Amino acid sequence: MLPLFPLELVVYPGETLSLHIFEKRYQQLIKDCENDGVSFGVPTYIDKKLEYGTEVTLRKIEKKYPDGESDIICIGKRVFRITNFYPKLPNKLYAGGEVIYLEDNDRTATELQEELLRNIAILYLELTIDRPPIFDIPFISYQVAHKVGLALHQEYHLLTLRSELERLNYLIGHLKITIPVVREMNRTKEVIKMNGHFKNFDPLDFEDFEL
């Protein structure tokens, strides 16, 4: 039985998660993690349901407050699917569930990783924001998933994919759709900026024009 802390976000294996704990039920959960070394699951609450999530372990309690609240740092471990959900575990305030831990079916491909990084670099260039994240190959798709502008339902879909190759292809496909949209938005902004300004047109050559 895995204690559960449902949230409207996606946590990936290997990801660091910082949380402020203020509800009594989760104060109790973190106390159990601290005292008994238990881990807990963060299932993604999406479309009014819970199914997939990631098991996390408590790495550090950053700060404790007099009223029992705390700031904690956790690390994602492995993906699970909930088979049975219980709003409260016996003698506990927090929820829990029976889960199946999911394994990936295959490993990654260097070529796809390189293609993904190239597309991320293009996206950041088009957005003219911070420098693109730098990753050493090999890396895993989860490391870049929060950095490519996925919507929550897209991040969640990525979590459900059980193949690293599928995840890499999914991210590459997302970027190939997103980059042209960003380029068109940038072009539209330039057109809007030019509205009302004097425009310098190149002369047209009508010598060979026929009606």
Where do we find the tokens 């699951």?
A: 41
With left for phi above 0 and alpha for psi between -120 and 50, is residue 169 left, alpha or beta? alpha
pTM of the model: 0.83
Q: For the chain, percent helix, then strand, then coil, each to nearest 5?
A: 35, 25, 35
CB 40 within 8 A of CB 33: yes
Beta-ladder partners of 43: 53
Which positions ≥6 away from 30 have C-beta within 8 Å?
21, 58, 61, 70, 72
CB 178 within 8 A of CB 118: no
* pLDDT higher than threshold 90 for residue 100: yes
User: 3-state DSSP call for residue 189?
Assistant: helix
CB-CB neighbours of 21 under 10 Å: 21
| pLDDT of 204 strictly over 70 | no
Chain-centroid distance, C-alpha 203: 50
108-149 residue pLDDT tens: 688 899 999 999 999 988 888 777 777 888 889 999 999 999
Residue range 46-86, pLDDT digits in tens = 999 999 999 999 999 999 999 999 999 999 999 999 999 99
If pLDDT is split at 50, 70 and 90, which confidence band does 195 have? low
